[in-house]
Amino acid sequence: MGKKETEKLLFILMDFISDLSNEQYQNLLSGKAVVRYEQLEPNQRTALLVEKFRSDIRLLKLEDIKKQFKKEELLLISEHYNVSNKSRDTKQDIINKLVHSFGENIKSTANNDHMHQKLAEEIHKFDSVEKGKDYLANHPKLRTKKDIIALAKSMDVYVSQTYTKQKLLNRIAESIIGAKLRGQIIRSEK
Write the pLDDT tens digit of every residue in 56-113: 666 656 666 777 888 888 888 888 777 888 888 888 888 888 877 766 444 444 456 6
The SS3 of residue 27 is helix
The model carries a pTM of 0.43
Nearest to 32 by CA among 19, 15, 20, 43: 20
d(CA 54, CA 58): 6
Determine the pLDDT at residue 96. 82
Cα-Cα end-to-end distance for the chain: 28
Nearest to 13 by CA among 30, 31, 28, 2: 28
* Displacement of CA 111 from its chain's centroid (Å): 18
Region 15-36 average pLDDT: 86
What DSSP assignment string belongs to 57-118? HHTT-HHHHHHH--HHHHHHHHHHTT----TT--HHHHHHHHHHHHTHHHHHHHHHHHHHHH
Determine the pLDDT at residue 106. 45
Determine the pLDDT at residue 30. 93
Q: How far is CA 138 from CA 51, 131, 141, in A?
A: 28, 11, 9
The string over 28-56, giving b where at least 16 C-beta atoms fall within 10 Å of a residue's C-beta and e elsewhere, is eeeeeeeeeeeeeeeeeebeebbebbbeb
Please answer whether residues 159 and 168 qualify as being in contact, where contact means their C-beta atoms are separated by less than 8 angstroms: yes
* Domain positions in the chain: 1-37, 39-102, 107-189
- On the question of pLDDT at 142 being above 90, the answer is no
Determine the pLDDT at residue 150. 83
Determine the pLDDT at residue 59. 63
Q: Among positive and negative, which fits the CA dihedral 48, 51, 56, 59?
A: negative
Write the pLDDT tens digit of every residue in 143-183: 888 888 888 888 888 888 888 999 999 999 999 998 888 88
